[in-house]
Amino acid sequence: MEGKVMENKIIEPCFGERFIGSGTKNIKYTIKGTPGNALGSYLDGGEIIVHGNAQDAVGDTMNDGKIIVHGSAGDALGYAMRGGLIFIRDNSGYRTGIHMKEYKEKKPIIIIGGSAGCFLGEYLAGGIIIVLGINTREIPVGDFTGTGMHGGKIFIRTKAALPPLPKQVIVNTAEEEDKKEISPYVNEYASCFGFDANALLKDKFYILRPNAKNPYKQLYTAN
């Protein structure tokens, strides 16, 4: 999006209107209130900033651009997302990043500042999901994390033991080299919401990767 002049639109107040920003390329939306389902669906290079919470299916099949939510988001965040960035300051619901994928230079990124519900990264085929667990006392992910995962990576910042993971997932403690991969995204996230990126990155992260023996892997062109 660098170098492009975007048209600015302000929506205030917002009371659950659906499909805001769908397919947008060169428009920046600033939303004050609560947008409805499918915010930024098929987003293709635009930018959406929400000062409030968002509902279900934010960034559905998003291709490029950026969505920043100063609050929490509902279920199926980033469903089938193919590119771009989604930053959620607080929490997300069930099935965050379901069917997310990448191809060549397209790598979708989701960062959840608080916690994510069950089935995080279900059938993940590519891209990166980061859960920072800020201000959470318990494990910041729910059950069935990574179910059917066959590509991509999931980073989870926590000192607690993770819940049982499916056979498709291999879990390790993230090394410094692993953290370097996510450092630019965590820095940008922290800048958006006023957090200390260095302090976050110093903490323990788990990294979840797909089991190389997974039979689903051979069915996809990029992993």
The pLDDT of residue 208 is above 70:
yes
Strand partners, 151: 125
pLDDT digits (tens, 9 = 90+) for 18-69: 999 999 999 999 999 999 999 999 999 999 999 999 999 999 999 999 999 9
> Do the Cβ atoms of 107 and 129 come closer than 8 Å?
no
Task: Give the pLDDT confidence score for residue 213 in this predicted structure.
Answer: 66
Please give the domain boundaries of the chain with CATH numbers for all domains. Answer: 19-219 (2.160.20.60)
**Residue 212 vs residues 40, 89, 169, 218: alpha-carbon distances, Å:** 33, 32, 9, 10
Task: Give the pLDDT confidence score for residue 6 in this predicted structure.
Answer: 87
Structure token pair of residue 98: 């379901």
**Vertex 93, ends 87 and 98: CA angle to 5°?**
75
Structure token pair of residue 28: 């920046």
The amino acid sitting at 203 is D
pLDDT digits (tens, 9 = 90+) for 105-156: 899 999 999 999 999 999 999 999 999 999 998 899 999 999 999 999 999 9
- pTM of the predicted model, to two decimals? 0.93
